[in-house]
Amino acid sequence: MTDAILAFWLQHAPVLSVLLPSFTAMGLLLLGDFGGMAGQGGGHGSARVRWRRRLSLSSVVLGTVMAAGLVWRAASGELLVYQLGEWSAPFGIVLVLDRLSALMVFLTYLVAAPVLWYATGGWDMRGRHFHAIFHFQLMGLSGAFLTGDLFNLFVFFEVLLIASYVLLLHGQGRERMRMGVHYVVLNLAGSGLFLIGLAMIYAVTGTLNMADLALRVAQLTGDSALIARAAALVLLVVFGLKAALVPLYFWLPGTYASASAPVAALFAIMTKVGVYSIIRTHWGIFGVEAGEASLAAQAWLLPLALSTSVLGALGALAAHTMGRMVAYLTVSSVGTILAGVGLFTPETLSAALYYTLHSTIVIAGLFLLVELVAAQRGEAGDKLRPAVAVREPVLLGMMMLFGAASASGLPPLPGFLGKLMILQSASGLAAQAWVWSVVLVVGFFTIVGLARAGVIVFWHIQPDGELPSVASGSSAKLLSAAWAFMAITVALAVLASPVKRYTDEAALQLADTAAYAEAVLGSQGGARANTARPYDGSRNATHVQPAAESVPAKVLP
């Protein structure tokens, strides 16, 4: 029986990662949410609430195990192509599992599991259908990371965005409604631009399959190549909006700061969908082998990324609430990641992927920690002004210190390792001075901003202030979720060597477009793409191109 289940999973692993949260969400909707909201009967102890939480948590735990299995499978270098309906690419819908997509799905569940556990401490009762919408969000995220088609990337974008609209308003409130309107309008505009970009690409290539696109874009010349380059920049705007890249980052600080703590923590992975999409399109499609359309975003991406990192750090330094401070740190981390991506070498991309793991986990944990601290500061909440002393100054102070040290990149935590990897990988490149200066200055600004927040919260005490009515934040359940993120952060430092080897291989695999084309399109696609020049090891080039090696591939029906 166990062997049969394992064989079934091995055959259908990519699609099961999308179907699991989808079926869970539908099951939760069928189970109903009556009596789940505070004040509508049933209460926290109702059998319906307990079963809803059990089903939701069990699905996320199973999804985490499956995501770890995806990483294990992808680590061998084998590309798994799942053809839905047994229609072969480029005409059919395919899901493609490689090292990068497996890593991002696993990261999604590493964030989702502690966040959902935290939400079951009471946040899930402040609105209807929280668990169902949560799993629809996971469905959209998993699908976006696994799809091998740009149009289906758009579809999964819409799924996760619609779910995020509802989650953002969860718990209601005037500020959430106001920021929710801004968030919806901006993302609808982004979706419209997304369709325009896809239409431009389809007009000159006749396909939206990523592997087929990489081959056809490389053959474009003249006006067709110019249209393709314009489409690439349109998509950069779209994905830059999702990732909160300057100048399109202004929506994020207020939106994330107004969301409930578990929702803001889950949204830490949302910006990484934009980052992932930039990597997929501008490395896999408009990369070094794209002919006249190659590296269309190179002149824009690195300057915008460095500006994003600096402005995010300055925003955190000037923030008046802890929530906005962490939101601005999210923006700054995106800039640091995209700086590595924008250098267009496998070494810098690998370093950026490692830093992606660190920043996502740390930011998610900080959002939870902010609420734990704010709940013990009376009417001041998360505002950075003097207030009553928190009830657990030692525990929360140590947690705050750990989060600050990791976010700012102090050794020996993974934030320091990730930034060191980016600095080392940028050595010898033309933009080395800019990258080194920005990374080091941003790290200093981050330390100052977090130190300022810590001094105000834990030292500037107002003894005659209003005490909180309930000793909120002392729940072991809520604390354990924040501790889980801290434990994952420590694990990233301890396992830095094998994780870095994995990201190295992921970056090289992504640069090998011939192997990707052969896996998705068959031997004919590999032959069309097999024009790569070998990488001679030079560190003076702006970008490098590895030799196209034969990578095993497996097509699943």
pLDDT at res. 12: 84
pLDDT at res. 121: 86
**Average confidence score pLDDT of the chain:** 87
Q: How confident is the model at residue 415 (pLDDT cuts 50, 70, 90)?
A: very high
Least confident of 28-32, 183-187, 419-423, 535-539: 535-539
Q: What is the pLDDT of residues 99-145, one digit of tens each?
A: 999 999 999 999 999 999 999 988 888 888 899 999 999 999 999 99
Alpha-carbon distance 513 to 231, whole Å?
20
CB contact at 8 A, 244 and 308? yes
Q: Is the pLDDT of residue 42 over 70?
A: no
Q: Per-residue pLDDT averaged across 167-181, rounded?
A: 83
Exposed / middle / buried, residue 90 (Cβ in 10 Å: 0-12, 13-18, 19+):
buried
Residue type, 476: A
Domain ranges of the chain: 300-496
Residue whose C-alpha is closest to residue 481's, from 366, 374, 377: 366
Q: What is the pLDDT of residues 474-510, one digit of tens each?
A: 688 899 999 999 999 999 999 999 999 999 999 999 9
Q: Per-residue pLDDT averaged across 534-542, rounded?
A: 35
Alpha-carbon distance 482 to 470, whole Å?
20
pTM for the whole structure: 0.91
Q: How confident is the model at residue 555 (pLDDT cuts 50, 70, 90)?
A: low
Least confident of 212-221, 428-437, 546-555: 546-555
Q: Per-residue pLDDT averaged across 233-260, rounded?
A: 93
Q: Per-residue pLDDT averaged across 422-436, rounded?
A: 94
Alpha-carbon distance 269 to 255, whole Å?
14
Q: Is the pLDDT of residue 530 over 70?
A: no
Q: Is the pLDDT of residue 538 over 70?
A: no
What are the residues whose beta carbons fall under 8 Å from the beta carbon of 163, sequence distance 6 or more? 133, 134, 136, 137, 139, 140
Q: What is the pLDDT of residues 141-160, one digit of tens each?
A: 999 999 999 999 999 999 99
User: What six digits make up the tokens of 445?
Assistant: 């600004």
pLDDT at res. 44: 45
Q: How confident is the model at residue 527 (pLDDT cuts 50, 70, 90)?
A: low
Q: Is the pLDDT of residue 276 over 50?
A: yes
Q: Is the pLDDT of residue 472 over 70?
A: no
CB contact at 8 A, 320 and 311? no
CB contact at 8 A, 295 and 344? yes
Q: In Å, what is the CA distance from 16 to each residue of 10, 21, 62, 136?
A: 10, 9, 11, 14
CB contact at 8 A, 215 and 525? yes
Q: Per-residue pLDDT averaged across 276-280, rounded?
A: 95
The per-residue b/e assignment along 51-65, b for 16 or more CB within 10 angstroms, e otherwise, is ebbebbbebbeebbe
User: What six digits make up the tokens of 448?
Assistant: 């100052």
pLDDT at res. 21: 96
Q: Per-residue pLDDT averaged across 41-55, rounded?
A: 72
- Residue 459 sits at φ, ψ, to 5 deg, of -115, -35
pLDDT at res. 181: 87
pLDDT at res. 554: 58
Q: How confident is the model at residue 556 (pLDDT cuts 50, 70, 90)?
A: low
Q: Is the pLDDT of residue 547 over 50?
A: no
pLDDT at res. 522: 80
Q: Is the pLDDT of residue 189 over 70?
A: yes
Q: How confident is the model at residue 61 (pLDDT cuts 50, 70, 90)?
A: very high
Alpha-carbon distance 231 to 236, whole Å?
9
- Residue 81 sits at φ, ψ, to 5 deg, of -115, 120
Q: Per-residue pLDDT averaged across 415-437, rounded?
A: 94
pLDDT at res. 128: 84
User: What six digits make up the tokens of 262?
Assistant: 């578990």
| Residues present in the chain in total | 557
Q: Is the pLDDT of residue 239 over 70?
A: yes
3-state secondary structure of 480: helix
The per-residue b/e assignment along 93-110, b for 16 or more CB within 10 angstroms, e otherwise, is bbbbbbbbbbbbbbbbbb
Beta bridge partners of 554: 80
Least confident of 76-80, 143-147, 360-364: 76-80
| Whole-number percent of the chain with pLDDT over 90 | 66
Q: Is the pLDDT of residue 466 over 60?
A: no
DSSP state of 383: B
pLDDT at res. 360: 96
pLDDT at res. 112: 97
